[in-house]
Chain A
Amino acid sequence: MKNLEMKKEFKVIADLLPINTRVLDVGCGDGSLMNLLKKEKNVEVRGLELNQENVQECIHKGLPVIQGNAETELHQFPDKSFDYVVLSQTLQAFYEPEKVLKNLLRIGKSVVISIPNFGFWKVRTKLLFFGKMPITKTLPNTWYNTPNLHMCTIKDFFNFCDEKNINIKKVVGVNEDKTSTISKNNLEIKNLFSKVGIFLIS
């Protein structure tokens, strides 16, 4: 199920990106997204990944990947060296997400960032009615072993971009296999019904 949602998310990200561009996938995992972008959009991809097994998998697939930690090693990429930088569902896991985000915006002309939405109705009701930290398909860990340090909602990230003068070009909400465009007008409702928010910012 998680896999299916990932696929949906990757599809949305691929749709956001024009063909023949240069893309850095931060936290590229086993290279699934890079492979998709390469095949469907003829994108020149690069990956950054912490896990050694994933790195090996990327190399096996013939995808260029650098083993490293996005929290500490983004400095190696020069300013505006990529058309797009993609960060899929990992911003909340960094110690200093704001610093990482600044770096992403420095490296890429635009940034595509996806966040698991803590404002999704199932998450809200679990906390409200059961008084327990929510465990959902998108947020499968318990409070003591979750890698997620800085959870936020789509609305939070929206407001954050406003505050920091980050230009929001497009926001897409994903729920199961349905996607919808999010704007200021429908933010409240989409914040309730989207599992994942995908932001194109610059």
Chain B
Amino acid sequence: MPSLAGLFFWMNIKLEKIKKLEVAKPLKLDCGKTIKDFPLAYETYGKLNDNKDNAILVFHALTGDQFVTGTNPITNKEGWWITAVGPGKAIDTNKYFVICANVIGGCMGSLGPRSMNPDTKKPYGLDFPVITIKDMVRAQESLLEHLGIKKLLCATGGSMGGMQLLQFCATFPDKAFSAIPIACSSSHSAQNIALNELARQAIMADPVWDNGKYVLKNVQPKNGLAVARMVGHISYLSEKGMQEKFGRKLQEKADYEFSFNADFQVESYLRHQGYAFVERFDANSVLYITRAMDYFDLSKQFKGGLVEAFKNQKTKFLIISFSSDWLYTTKDNKDIVIALNASGADVSYSEIITDKGHDSFLLNEPQFLKTLKSFIDSIYEKFRNEKRI
């Protein structure tokens, strides 16, 4: 394994190969600060047709990036939504033009805490402004302009991607013909915030973190970041799914070792997930992005609450939840449906019955993928018919 300094150096070289849009337009953030001339990294799949009516914008989740499908050129691993997006998949890139941008605050090429602070000529670290979901979404508007897309056929995203999508629809009600928020919520619950705080505290408790200044030393608070990721992984699985997958099975051993090594398979799994994560993600980015999620409360932005947020929506919605998701529950998702209904919007809703928990949206879940495909294909027909008239 290369040293971390070496890894960052290597990553920076590779990062230069990432598609980037330099956003010149100043963006006033919710915190009051303004950013301008900032990079927004993105990737596209498939081809935009001549009518420009086959574009689908994907919003990524907390630890995702713009590399939705195919091979991620930075990590050499599969794109995070390869189950749903690609040639012949539910979101068929032979037919549709798929766009995804790295959120600001992230660490895959867009402006984030690892970026150079023009004032100090050093990486921002904790001098990076605190951002919100709304800031992330507004930063991505320029990308649509840049690609020449007036109206998206569809916008979609799961988890934090779903939150960005709800914000996107509320902020830009005319930009998407349809929207598929998946396994998300219109505001973070106390439990959601608590779990994020656990992740943040794990990072901050690592002495290497050093108030975020580790970036100046080209090191990474590996231990803290790995624990933060483990917390996440527990919340992405259901109790039943975890029991079925791991039970009390031991990790390549016949009996307990009477030590604190990873005796159980579930321990080994968490450690693996935790330490694999530190290779590809930045600890400060986790702080900033989880904070953005915690601040998210769409109803707070509108007098009259969530119903008002979706007032005059022409966008056709499909909300999808997973029965065993305890992070963003069926109830959280249904509350969105209720608000959309109350505002008179065109909304469909389906709850997929599965044991796989919140992670379901990333997995090969046939009922889910079938629903996704059915909706997008039928909506494409409608969009084209509407344009013809």
Q: Which residues of A contact B (CB under 8 A)?
A: 52, 55-56, 58-62, 64-68, 73, 76-78, 81
Contact = CB atoms under 8 A, between A and B. Distances in A.
A64 B346 contact: yes
10 contacts: A55-B348, A55-B350, A56-B350, A56-B367, A59-B350, A60-B378, A68-B349, A76-B337, A76-B341, A77-B342
Given A61-B378, A64-B346, A66-B347, A56 B371 contact: yes
Given A52-B353, A52-B367, A76-B342, A59 B348 contact: yes
A60 B353 CA distance: 18
Contact of A66 (B341, B344, B374): B341
B341 A78 contact: yes
B382 interface: yes
A59 B375 CA distance: 6
A65 B316 CA distance: 11
Given A52-B367, A56-B374, A59-B348, A64 B316 contact: yes
Range for the number of chain B residues in contact with chain A: 20 to 34
B43 interface: no
B351 A52 contact: yes
A200 to B, nearest CB: 24
Contact of B378 (A62, A66, A68, A77): A62
Give the dominant DSSP class at A's interface.
mixed
B112 to A, nearest CB: 37
Nearest to B341: A76
Contacts of B351: 52, 67
A61 B353 CA distance: 21
A59 B381 contact: no
A95 B347 CA distance: 27
Contacts of B341: 66, 76-78, 81
Given A76-B341, A76-B342, A59 B367 contact: no
A59 B347 contact: no
A29 to B, nearest CB: 15
A73 B349 CA distance: 13
B338 interface: yes
B240 interface: no
A73 B375 CA distance: 23
Interface string B16-43: 0000000000000000000000000000
B316 A59 contact: no
Contacts of B375: 59
Contact of A60 (B334, B347, B374): B374
Contacts of B144: none
Contacts of A65: 348-349
**Best-buried of B342, B346, B349 by chain A (most CB within 10 Å):** B349
A59 B338 contact: no
Contacts of B381: 62
Contacts of B337: 66, 76
Contact of B347 (A64, A73, A81): A64
Contacts of A73: 334
A120 B351 CA distance: 39
A67 B368 CA distance: 14
B265 to A, nearest CB: 32
B353 A66 contact: no
